[in-house]
Amino acid sequence: MNTPSNDRRFLVAWGGDAASRDALALGTDLATTFRTGLDALYVLHEESAVSIQHPGQARFRDEVEAQARAQLDKALAKLPADIDVRAHVRRSASVPRAVLDAAGELNARALVIGSGSRSKGAILANPVATAILHSAPVPVAMTPRGYRKGERGPLQQLVAAVGLRAGAQQVVHEAVTAAAITGLPLRLITLVDQGKRDEQLASQMLSGALAQLDAVRDEVGGDVDVTTEVGGGGNLRKAVAATDWNPHSVLLVGSSRLAQGRQTFLGTTATRMLEHLPVPMIVVPRPN
């Protein structure tokens, strides 16, 4: 993702918990799919960056860092031997800032983060994830809770959510690039929240969405296997539930119009989708 070059690696934000293990599982599947390497970053939170005042404090910090590195190394040792993986441990007063800085310094293809812990199978952003999702300079992939326990392996399909508003097709370019790199089929989908609209208006919305998808597909060209689909329901939850999701797929969504240039910003619709989506979501930054 993010560039046709295949030398850029995925960066997993690791914290030692279940969400981190889900993120590492998704990072592994993405690295395998894109045939590239994987970086795993453990950020140790520090209240401030002031200098150490006495030797005992320094020893304690060193011991904490050594334990963190040992925990991360143990998790990475379980990954397939053919994946080139590197471990990174940093200290910072801001975990999200350290993760975002590392993404730039390591020239990450995408960031991979875990989900919250309130609902199995849902994607729920915790405060750290929320901060990352609203300001990342690269795509951010987020797992459903328990992803590591489900069907695993290389991706079989890429899905791009195409919105109905002007400029909502920004995600298509990223999806087409990823499909070209991996050789995977691309599915363009629009989910229509029909709400309490009358039947005629609901039908018009579905027809308009299908026409827009057909136009986007025509622009893609013949190098990528592209299909289109419009899903509707009384609300977004029902529209998501009525969609047939390949368990070996990811959904790419564009950032809100509120995003700064070349940054992610999780919009209202994508936020609502998170809690019902059974596959990972990748939020793509707005273009410059």
> In this predicted structure, which of 32-46, 129-143, 155-169, 258-272 has the lowest mean pLDDT?
258-272
Q: Give the mean model confidence (pLDDT) for residues 275-279.
A: 84
Buried/exposed code over 151-174 (b: 16+ C-beta within 10 A; e: otherwise):
eeeebebbbbbbbeeeebbbbbeb
Buried/exposed code over 214-245 (b: 16+ C-beta within 10 A; e: otherwise):
eebbeebeeebebebebbbbeebebbbeebeb
**Tens-digit pLDDT profile for residues 102-154:** 999 999 999 999 876 555 555 556 677 778 887 788 999 999 888 999 888 99
When pLDDT is cut at 50, 70 and 90, the band that residue 240 belongs to is confident
pTM, two decimals, is 0.85
Q: Which domains are delineated in the chain?
A: 10-149 (3.40.50.620), 157-284 (3.40.50.620)
Buried/exposed code over 97-107 (b: 16+ C-beta within 10 A; e: otherwise):
ebbbbbbeebe
Cα–Cα distance list, 36 to 9, 65, 273, 276 (Å): 6, 28, 29, 30
What's CA 80's distance to the chain center, in Å?
21
Q: Which amino acid is at 34?
A: F
Distance CA 139, CA 52 (A): 36
**Tens-digit pLDDT profile for residues 187-206:** 988 877 666 555 565 566 55
Q: Which of 243, 234, 230 is nearest to 276 (CA)?
A: 243
